[in-house]
Chain A
Amino acid sequence: LAKTTQPISMDSYEGQEVNITCSHNNIATNDYITWYQQFPSQGPRFIIQGYKTKVTNEVASLFIPADRKSSTLSLPRVSLSDTAVYYCLVGGGKLIFGQGTELSVKP
């Protein structure tokens, strides 16, 4: 399984765009990249998934460079309710979670 590395924490202010980068140097050819969001005392929630280039949905965008050794989750105009832990996962259904990035959005 590809190991992922993310910043432990990030701070932002309401209305700003937040970019969280995940490194996954050993990603395999058939691995997808998936991001989850987790609020305290709740289960993680799927945000977005991609294989290459760019994916966008109503919540976020995911940018994946050509070598796929990293990916960036972009949250446009964050609000206080986006304060959560964000996890980057690579690979199949084993769903191995790393330490995640604790995002704190301030007024």
Chain B
Amino acid sequence: DAGVIQSPRHEVTEMGQEVTLRCKPISGHNSLFWYRQTMMRGLELLIYFNNNVPIDDSGMPEDRFSAKMPNASFSTLKIQPSEPRDSAVYFCASSLLGNQPQHFGDGTRLSIL
């Protein structure tokens, strides 16, 4: 089975640019999570979708961040405009149910210059 697929693997862009991160969850999983990981703050939940509906977006830092899940096999996380403090590794994870172990993608390493 294919795991969670994220793209791009690396993104380097200048401050102010729009950044779009993509995620394809494992087929049949109804829960999708976006996380951000930094040395200072560890692994933080940004947003949780259940059956394509956002359930908890309390971790989204500010209005510059938005996430969508138009269908069960695709989700995006967008940052506009990007800032240097957004530099981090962004993970997407999916699970069969919300309270089951999550399967993580390999992450997108984002650097904002």
State yes or no: do A and B come from one complex.
no
User: CB within 8 Å of A: which residues of B?
Assistant: none
